[in-house]
Amino acid sequence: MGRKYLREPTEPIEVRSRKISELTDAMLKTGFQGRKLAQAIEAWSAMLDEKELTIFMGLSGAMVPAGMRKIIAYMIQEGFIDCLVTTGANLFHDIHEALGGKHYIGSHTADDNDLYKCGIDRIYDVFAEEERFRDIDHLIADFAKNLDAKNYSTREFIHLLGAEISKKGEKDSIIVSAYESGLPIFVPTIADSSIGIGLMLARRAGKSLPVDVIKDVDEITQMVEKSKKTGVVYIGGGVPKNFIQQTEVTSSILGSGAKGHDYAIQFTTDPPHYGGLSGCTFEEAVSWGKVSAAAKKVQVYVDATIALPIVSHALQEKSKKRKKVDWNSTF
């Protein structure tokens, strides 16, 4: 009677020389989060094979200081994603590195009072120079002072800032890759970052630059309305996750017939039982109409700094470069 549950045996991993994608394929026959990681790669690869699907990425956490920025830039350049929703902090740190700044290997056991006296900021086990950060604050303020006084969505502002950074910094960055690819970046919590500090400095200097985050809601909803199918990839959770999730609800209110995202992948360390959005399951999202009941859904409980290098290399081996859409030109 129980034989219906015993259709496919697990297969132990053999240690041998092989590609990363071959290893992750083998992990499909293992258990726990190893199998989930392999399933996430399989689902993302399937998304890349879809011809009429728009892929949204939500990026939270200090991923740039942790060394993930070139992975995200690569994904933009190769068409692995079509839209990025992230924090102002990630873009600020990306600009910092694009203009020659560094983050340094540190220690989570360092004396934080001594770090403060030395002008060193700590992000767990990563260090950075506060003075260099303040240089970027002023650069953003000076840039904002020269813009026309009108309402900007964060997408518009970041696109213009990307154009400026492309003239001064390295091309292999998130903001420059997005600018050159026409990929929209939305920063719904832009005030909660050093980019917000830079805009406030411009305001104090007499140049108030209205940033309209409700315009962001409209623009990203337009992307869903214009898309036949949608997929989502969340690195962490937080505001970027729900900002993308709610596009399906907004679209349905507007009568577009949206019934939830068709693919959903998340890499998170947050469990669902505390009620927070970062840990809530995609099954819960189905009840809101944010994710389709028929969607391919994979949540992997893993540190994103472990998952992203493995996933990106496996996709690089498995997937062809995807045709990109200049979404910025469609608004």
Dump pLDDT digits (tens) for 167-211.
Answer: 998 888 999 999 999 999 999 999 999 999 999 999 999 998 889
Question: For 219-247, what is the mean pLDDT?
Answer: 97
Residue 27 lies in a domain: no
Name the active-site residue from 70, 290, 297, 318.
Answer: 290
Give pLDDT tens digits for 252-264: 999 987 789 999 9
Mean pLDDT of the chain, nearest integer: 96
Lowest average pLDDT, out of 64-73, 124-133, 316-325, goes to 316-325
Range of the domain at 274: 33-317
Provide the 3-class DSSP secondary structure of residue 184: coil
Residue 21 lies in a domain: no
Radius of gyration of the chain (CA): 21
Residue 18 lies in a domain: no
* The pLDDT value given to residue 3: 87
For the chain, the distance separating the N- and C-terminal CA atoms, rounded to the nearest angstrom, is: 58
CA distance 48 to 321: 9
CA distance 59 to 62: 9
Higher pLDDT, 273 or 209: 273
Residue 19 lies in a domain: no
Residue 308: give its domain's CATH number.
Answer: 3.40.910.10
Residue 11 lies in a domain: no
- Strand locations in 126-228 (E): 126-129, 185-186
Model confidence, pTM:
0.97
Residue 329 lies in a domain: no
* The pLDDT value given to residue 171: 84
Of 301, 296, 308, 245, the residue nearest 48 (C-alpha): 296
Q: 29 an active-site residue?
A: no
How is residue 211 annotated by DSSP? B
* The pLDDT value given to residue 259: 86
* pLDDT reading at 119 higher than 80: yes
* The pLDDT value given to residue 38: 98
Give the bridge partners for 200, in sequence order.
Answer: none
Higher pLDDT, 2 or 48: 48
Residue 28 lies in a domain: no
Q: pLDDT confidence of 76, banded at 50, 70, 90? A: very high
Residue 190 lies in a domain: yes
Structural domain tally of the chain?
A: 1
Provide the 3-class DSSP secondary structure of residue 152: strand
* The pLDDT value given to residue 185: 98
